[in-house]
Amino acid sequence: MPIPHENQTRTCPNCGEPVPPGAKQCPSCGQVLGTGPRSRWWWLKSLTPTEIFLLVIGSLMLSVFLVAV
Ligand SMILES: [Zn+2]
């Protein structure tokens, strides 16, 4: 059985059955699924590499500016 990587399908931490995206509860065993630590960085994953690059450059420029002044 292949282990799913970063895709839409999640697996239940209790029984290992696939859980449909957005499900609050496991359809197989009824395990309540928390959003977990990934919810904190959901916005980061929704960013494109270009946006992340601009974000990094922007914060870098800001810190350089603050040091220079
Ligand atoms: Zn389950």
Residue 13: its pLDDT value, please? 87
Residue 47: its pLDDT value, please? 83
State the distance from the centre of ligand 1 to the C-alpha of 16, rounded, in angstroms. Answer: 6
Whether residues 49 and 30 fall in one domain: no
Q: pTM above 0.85?
A: no
State the distance from the centre of ligand 1 to the C-alpha of 44, rounded, in angstroms. Answer: 28
Whether residues 42 and 61 fall in one domain: yes
Q: For the chain, how many structural domains are there in total?
A: 2
Residue 61: its pLDDT value, please? 95
What domain range includes position 8? 1-34
Write out the H or E segment, with its range, that includes residue 44: helix 42-46
Whether residues 52 and 69 fall in one domain: yes
Walking along the chain (69 residues) 10 residues at a time, the average pLDDT comes out as: 61 90 88 67 78 94 91
Whether residues 41 and 69 fall in one domain: yes
CA angle, 47 as apex, 52 and 19 as ends, to 5°?
Answer: 140
State the distance from the centre of ligand 1 to the C-alpha of 62, rounded, in angstroms. Answer: 46
Whether residues 59 and 42 fall in one domain: yes
